[in-house]
Amino acid sequence: MSEQVLHLDFISLSPNTGPNDRQQLFDAAAALSALPQVASLGVIEADAASYSDFDLVFYFQLPDFSALEPFGTDARYAGFLQGAVAPRLRAFAGADVRLEADFSADGPRSACLAIMAPEETYDWEVREALQAWRDASGSAAGALGLAVGEKQMYRGAALAFGWSLTTPEPPDVAKFRTTLVAGEARSLA
């Protein structure tokens, strides 16, 4: 088990958001690499041809759980959300997961799956579904983890990276609801 935590920001953009607005978002996120808690960060930009629940997902790799609160309360991160994201926002969701193994991102294609499940769902059920999904992608790199903290909307998340990545369908488990974003991956730090 890794000590690393991955913070995810899922963003649906307002319809009037143009290419320059997207680039401003990427630049504002990249500036967060200066935060001492951020080990790496990047974004997955959903393909128009693939089904995705959000337009973007930003991922922030933190060294451990103790870095989560200072990151989330840092004025620069709040400024990113309020100054860069909010004016372009249609919908937003977030997740924090403790990774099963150290984070790795390799390849220009990526997909992120996050799972919502009822409280009575066992962690092993969520982990098993995420692992099966990631294995089906043919991914050589990525991340998988369960939620940290109390009362998170998502119980876990997995990311898959690769050069020729298959984006599998989300798990077909009646009690799970899922969020999927698939497309181009960019490292921002």
**Cα(102)–Cα(124) distance, rounded to whole angstroms?**
19
Q: Which residue has the tokens 């898959």?
A: 160
Q: pLDDT of 72-100, one tens digit each? A: 999 999 999 999 999 999 999 999 999 99
65 Cβ contact partners less than 8 Å away, ≥ 6 residues apart: 3, 5, 98, 148
Place of tokens 């991956």: 185
CA neighbor of 182 nearest in space, from 14, 92, 48: 48
**Domains delineated in the chain:** 5-187 (3.30.70.100)
Q: Which residue has the tokens 């504002």?
A: 28
Question: What global pTM score does this model have?
Answer: 0.94
**How far, rounded to the nearest angstrom, does the alpha carbon of residue 143 sit from its chain's CA centroid?**
10
pLDDT digits (tens, 9 = 90+) for 114-169: 999 998 999 999 999 999 999 888 887 889 999 997 778 999 999 999 887 778 77
